[in-house]
């Protein structure tokens, strides 16, 4: 049964209720949701539901009709989302696991890890104990293989998954794997399920060759009932009369199971088809049907693989699969999961700008551009106001800022969201959706003041070419139009343009940037304040990893994003929900949904009232009227404006 607790239940009442149920032979699991807290109660004891409803702190009791209790949607309405290492599984993320069928050597698994991480996979698979049909086939390297697998995973920042075939292997495997895999042949090995469940760590449960969906979910119930909280269901094809492919992928099981259960559902297209040329289309079909992830076999030289070579992808095929998933994901309203650790060499162009005398606990903050960029000025001002020492970290691109924070190489990132003259920076609005594990924790507005900067010998008369970011050029149009003989060339960054002037040592070349960069690079301000409109401000957002963000009790702003049904008045209904709860709308921005022509996501900034309950009520009401509703962050607004 599901026992829904009253919102005002006291800790003592909760403890007494748990003891009341335990004394009668029931297992009790607490689940804290966004709008309510429940006790999931399972066991063979007899108890009248009305007796439970009479206990203090109980709002209502909902019987679970399914034979599988903890795995059912009746037990938990929301999709389960849980961490595996530093990534999250479930929700709107698409998680791709790649690697060989079996670990064959240290060199082989390291090369496989490089292939998987370089293409964008986020977890590494590899068998160390291989249950094979033939006793003469390769059976795996055992503990040695596990050591190689974990070494490769750690080196490339990939959590690892490997199959367990006997409870006797637990003592060895628990040291090396992040996720236990229970294979199709062991789906109903109930003693193994009990032992693995008691480990209380993530488990992937593959569907048996001839198992019904209910039998599959009942096997998951064994894991959950014996302690496991994080279970991934994996459809890998079932045995039918068809012999062309290795198995028959029951693709209809994906939406069926997602309707019946809150557990994430993965698909193994390698074992489902047994043919490498079928893996990519079948994998994409699984995602289109609603799968939360794929587990795929990939090997640097499939014909020489010790096992399952015909169904194993070449590296270039795995790369294509990842690119195709990236293209398909927005069509199905999902985001491809990204690893929160750097790939080998992926941040080679990221340089750290040390702060003189900074302490060892100074906060690293990533920004786009070279030293002296407006983003660096904004972050120094923001964190100086908070009296925090910072170490700015320069990134070439906005996406690299997101990746650096996600990787944990910086505690914070800063990106511009909109300019008062040029409008929104759409790239960063799109990136906010593509990195769901990051959240907005602050904002700052700064005035944009442009100067013409050249070499120490330069003057207005020597200049022939001016470089800067395209918006910077446009914002100084009146000044530049007075010099029609100058060549205007867009550059990737304002501060970087000044560095280019310095490196060229050419008095005919000038840059448009903040006047502070002239001193930073040893250049000369030729003309200050050349912007056409002095009321030029840019709003920057401060980003942090969601799992590391500290809740700001003084937060007075929130940013949410959602799409609406295709019907008259849909957006008006959302605005009505906000207005009725006295939530002041500060910004409404629409962006096309990638891959879904003529559909839009709406970004909304609202002021938080004195009562958090008003916003919480509005959020719950919006869930019923919108699609893909997401809270991007709560923060203290308008710092520095």
3-state DSSP of 450-478: CEEEECCCCCCCCCCEEEECHHHHHHCHH
pTM, rounded to two decimals: 0.66
- Average pLDDT, stretch 599-606? 91
Q: For residue 303, what is the DSSP state?
A: G
Indicate the average pLDDT of the chain.
88
State the catalytic residues: 538, 540
For residue 286 the two structure tokens come to 């699984």
**pLDDT of amino acid 45:** 64
Q: For residue 532, what is the DSSP state?
A: S
Q: What is the CATH number of domain 2-62?
A: 3.30.70.1140
Band (341; pLDDT cuts 50, 70, 90): very low
Q: Is CATH 3.90.470.10 what the domain over 82-336 is classified as, yes or no?
A: no
User: How does pLDDT run across 257-269, given as a tens digit for each residue?
Assistant: 999 999 999 999 9
For residue 404 the two structure tokens come to 């650096």
If one compares 639 and 398, the residue with the highest pLDDT of the two is 398
Band (376; pLDDT cuts 50, 70, 90): very high
* The two domains 2-62 and 551-641 share their CATH topology (first three levels equal): yes
Helix (H) or strand (E) run with residue 174 in it: none
Kindly calculate the radius of gyration of the chain based on its CA atoms and give it in whole angstroms.
Answer: 28
Q: What is the CATH number of domain 551-641?
A: 3.30.70.260
**Which 3 state secondary structure label does DSSP give 204?**
strand
> What's the CA gap between 399 and 366, in Å, rounded?
11
CATH topology of domain 451-535: D-Maltodextrin-Binding Protein; domain 2 (3.40.190)
For residue 429 the two structure tokens come to 């609005």
**pLDDT of amino acid 349:** 33
CA contacts within 13 A on the Cβ side of 292: 23
User: How does pLDDT run across 461-496, given as a tens digit for each residue?
Assistant: 999 999 999 989 999 999 999 999 999 999 988 999
Beta strands in 33-153 (DSSP E): 37-42, 58-62, 82-84, 87-89, 93-99, 123-125
C-beta neighbour count of 44 within 10 angstroms: 6
- Above 70 in pLDDT, residue 133? no
Give backbone dihedrals phi and psi of 175, rounded to 5 degrees, phi first. Answer: -75, -20
- Above 90 in pLDDT, residue 593? no
First to last CA, the chain: 53
- Above 70 in pLDDT, residue 132? no
Q: What is the DSSP string of 601-639?
A: EEEEEEE--S-HHHHHHHHHHHHHH-EEEEEEEEEEEEE
For residue 216 the two structure tokens come to 């599959």
> What's the CA gap between 566 and 157, in Å, rounded?
41
Domain ranges (residues) in the chain: 2-62, 82-336, 451-535, 551-641
Report residue 510 CA to chain centroid gap.
Answer: 41
Helix pair 494-504, 374-385: axis angle to 10 deg = 120
């Amino acid at each position: 049964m599901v026992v829904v607790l009253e919102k005002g239940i006291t800790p003592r009442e909760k403890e007494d209720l748990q003891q009341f149920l335990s004394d009668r032979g029931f297992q009790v699991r607490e689940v804290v949701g966004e709008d309510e807290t429940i006790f999931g109660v399972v066991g063979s004891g007899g108890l009248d539901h009305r007796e439970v409803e009479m206990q203090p702190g109980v709002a209502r009791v909902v019987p679970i009709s399914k034979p599988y209790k903890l795995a059912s949607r009746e037990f938990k309405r929301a999709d389960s989302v849980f961490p595996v290492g530093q990534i999250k599984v479930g929700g709107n993320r698409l998680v791709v696991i790649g690697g060989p069928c079996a670990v064959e050597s240290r060199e082989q698994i390291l090369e496989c890890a490089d292939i998987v991480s370089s293409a964008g996979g986020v977890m590494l698979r590899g068998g160390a104990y291989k249950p094979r049909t033939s006793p003469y086939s390769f059976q795996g390297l055992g503990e040695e293989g596990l050591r190689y697998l974990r070494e490769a995973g750690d080196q490339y920042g990939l959590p690892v998954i490997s199959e367990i075939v006997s409870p006797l292997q637990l003592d060895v495997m628990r040291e090396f794997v992040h996720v236990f895999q229970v294979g199709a042949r062991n789906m109903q090995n109930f003693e193994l399920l009990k032992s693995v469940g008691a480990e209380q760590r993530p488990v992937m449960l593959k569907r048996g060759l001839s198992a019904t969906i209910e039998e599959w979910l009942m096997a998951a119930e064994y894991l959950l009932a014996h302690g496991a909280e994080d279970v991934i269901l994996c459809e890998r094809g079932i045995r039918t009369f068809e012999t062309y492919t290795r198995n028959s992928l029951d693709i209809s099981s994906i939406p069926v199971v997602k309707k019946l259960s809150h557990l994430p559902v993965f698909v193994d297209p390698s074992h489902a088809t047994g043919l490498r040329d079928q893996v990519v289309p079948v994998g994409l079909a699984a995602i289109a049907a609603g799968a939360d992830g794929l587990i795929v076999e990939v090997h640097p030289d499939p014909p020489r693989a010790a096992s399952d070579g015909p169904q194993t992808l070449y590296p270039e095929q795995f790369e294509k699969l990842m690119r195709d998933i990236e293209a398909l994901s927005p069509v199905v309203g999902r985001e491809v999961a990204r690893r929160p650790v750097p790939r080998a060499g992926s941040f080679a162009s990221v340089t750290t700008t040390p702060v003189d005398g900074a302490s060892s606990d100074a906060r690293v903050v990533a920004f786009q551009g070279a030293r002296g960029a407006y983003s660096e000025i904004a972050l120094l001002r923001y964190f100086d106001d908070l009296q925090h020492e910072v170490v700015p970290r320069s990134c070439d691109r906005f996406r690299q800022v997101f990746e650096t924070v996600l990787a944990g190489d910086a505690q914070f990132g800063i990106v511009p969201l909109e300019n008062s003259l040029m409008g929104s920076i759409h790239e960063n609005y799109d990136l906010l959706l593509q990195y769901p594990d990051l959240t907005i924790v602050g904002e700052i507005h700064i005035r944009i003041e442009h100067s013409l900067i050249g070499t120490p010998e330069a003057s207005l008369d020597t200049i022939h070419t001016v470089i800067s970011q395209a918006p910077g050029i446009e914002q100084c149009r009146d000044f530049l139009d007075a010099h029609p003989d100058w060549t205007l060339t867009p550059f990737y960054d304002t501060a970087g343009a000044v560095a280019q002037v310095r490196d060229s040592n050419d008095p005919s070349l000038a840059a448009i940037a903040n006047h502070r960069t002239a001193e930073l690079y040893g250049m000369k301000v030729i003309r200050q304040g050349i912007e056409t409109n002095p009321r030029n401000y840019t709003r920057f957002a401060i980003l942090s990893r969601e799992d590391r963000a500290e809740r700001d009790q003084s937060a007075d702003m929130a940013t949410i994003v959602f799409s609406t049904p295709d019907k008259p008045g849909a957006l008006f209904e959302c605005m009505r929900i906000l207005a009725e709860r006295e939530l002041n709308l500060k910004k409404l921005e629409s962006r096309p949904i990638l891959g879904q022509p003529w559909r839009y996501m709406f970004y909304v900034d609202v002021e938080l009232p004195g009562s958090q309950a008003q916003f919480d009520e509005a959020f719950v009401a919006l869930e019923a009227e919108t699609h893909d509703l997401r809270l991007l962050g709560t923060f203290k607004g308008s710092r520095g404006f």
